[in-house]
Structure 1
């Protein structure tokens, strides 16, 4: 089996920085890592990638010849990669024996909640190489400071989980900066655990821009709560402990934790249902380390 991560998220959420930091951490714990850059617009990579889509197609070429804009160009590039999947398979073949794979994808969110090419590409790779992948969706923790943006992030996460059909870990990235982003309306665990979203309604009504879409937002919140799938973990990519805790969760999600273990079904079950040991680090420690009391306006009821 081959294990890895599919790194996705909106522009500016820190995907490339994440791949760089995650690869360094995994190397420290003695895993051989290969980064696959599938973002044809990412021409300033801070890491050495084993596979680079720019060897196949470049966004700037697509924008010049078919005269497409950046969004249309990225869709074209993914569709082109889908039709030339044999190129990617040939590049991956030497790596699958002993490498942990990180796929660095573009930040265009349409690719992950309503466009088929990315899903088709990953499905074909999974079947060809028996891949065990976890989608890691990064969401900038800045979005927690605005109720409307937070609801949008929730709906994006839910849509991606349903469309991609992969095990998914949703991450509030840049959590070390959350204290500098402005006041949060609620405790941090409200945002990580996606608690009663009706608390957001009063705050949405205070913003003229959000109040206009109050009914729509209320219905979106209802859909999110009905599915009950979305929650978030936290990450400071420069904090070794924070990265290590996230790796433990991802390992459990894609099954890496079971690799190399010769155990009975009962023992496997105990590992599967056991809680990860980082609940304190995920919320309470983050709030203590990066936030002050004045960063939170009010607290939700228990």
Structure 2
């Protein structure tokens, strides 16, 4: 049984490091995980991918062949990812892992908001699928930023149409704000109270309206705090994924 986990989030939120930690976690617990790097623009990674889209798509070649700049080549490469699904799927079949951990492109908009990303997620053959959205702890330490990233996480869930686990990354860097952030995720009232003391009244009101709309629609984030540096909280992320993927029976 293949469980596919798509690791998403904003650029710099720690997706690749979290991918490597999840791989190590599953390996240490006796499962057989395989990593898939789906970022054609990745220069270095904190792990050695078992399957790598860069074997099929080369940014430098696209820049030379089509006279594109780096950004244009990244957009084109992102669109080409969907055309390599069959080859990647064949590698997944050959590996036959328990867990396929997919490290998605650094620029979330290139994966979630263009056609190729949702197509890839929808058509990749796996028994169960889930998304991890990485809430960058250093970005969401203010209540207005928290609402903004929550809105993005909700949009990604709508686009990819998979069950989603929201992980607060870099918990070791925001330890002094950790309780507040987790309170905002768990309680609409706590978030509104924090927004009430924001200096910019206009954006505070807008943030409250957005927060209420997400709560009514069932998109309240709920966060599992994790540090990929200290490994603190990784067990909780794995447990949340287990519940999401197979009703809590890990393995």
Q: Which residue of structure 2 lines up, in the alignment, with residue 187 of structure 1? A: 180
Root-mean-square deviation (CA), in Å? 2.4
CA pair 194-138 structure 1, distance change in 2 beyond 3 A: farther
Distance in structure 1 (CA, Å) of the matches to 2:203 and 2:88 = 43
Q: Do 2:6 and 2:102's aligned partners in 1 also have CA atoms closer than 8 Å?
A: yes
Alignment pair present for 1:164 and 2:155: no
Q: 2:213 aligns with which of 218, 223, 229?
A: 223
Q: Distance between the aligned counterparts of 1:88 and 1:138, measured in 2?
A: 24
Distance (Å, rounded) in 2 between the aligned partners of 1:168 and 1:35: 19
The question of 1:235 aligning with 2:231 is answered no
| Mapped contact 2:4–2:130 kept (Cα < 8 A) | yes
1:248 pairs with one of 231, 239, 245: 239
Partners of 2:170 and 2:150 lie apart in 1 by: 17
- CA 1:76/1:194 → structure 2, altered by over 3 Å: closer, same or farther? farther
Answer yes or no: is 1:199 the counterpart of 2:176.
no
State the partner residue of 1:173: 169
The 3-state SS of whatever aligns with 1:45 is coil
Aligned: 1:2 with 2:18: no
- Counterpart in 2 of 1:118? 117
- Quote the residue 1:153 is aligned against: 149
Say whether the 8 Å CA contact 1:139–1:170 is kept in structure 2.
yes
**Corresponding residue SS for 1:93:** helix
Q: Which has the larger radius of gyration?
A: 1
| Structure 2 equivalent of residue 263 of structure 1 | none
Where does the alignment leave 5 or more consecutive residues of structure 2 unmatched?
Answer: none
Which one is further off, 236-245 or 114-123?
Answer: 236-245
Answer whether contact 1:10 1:109 (CA < 8 A) is retained. yes
TM-score normalised by structure 1 residue count: 0.74
Partner SS, residue 143 of structure 1: coil
Unaligned runs of 5+ in 1: 261-302
Alignment coverage as a number of residue pairs: 249
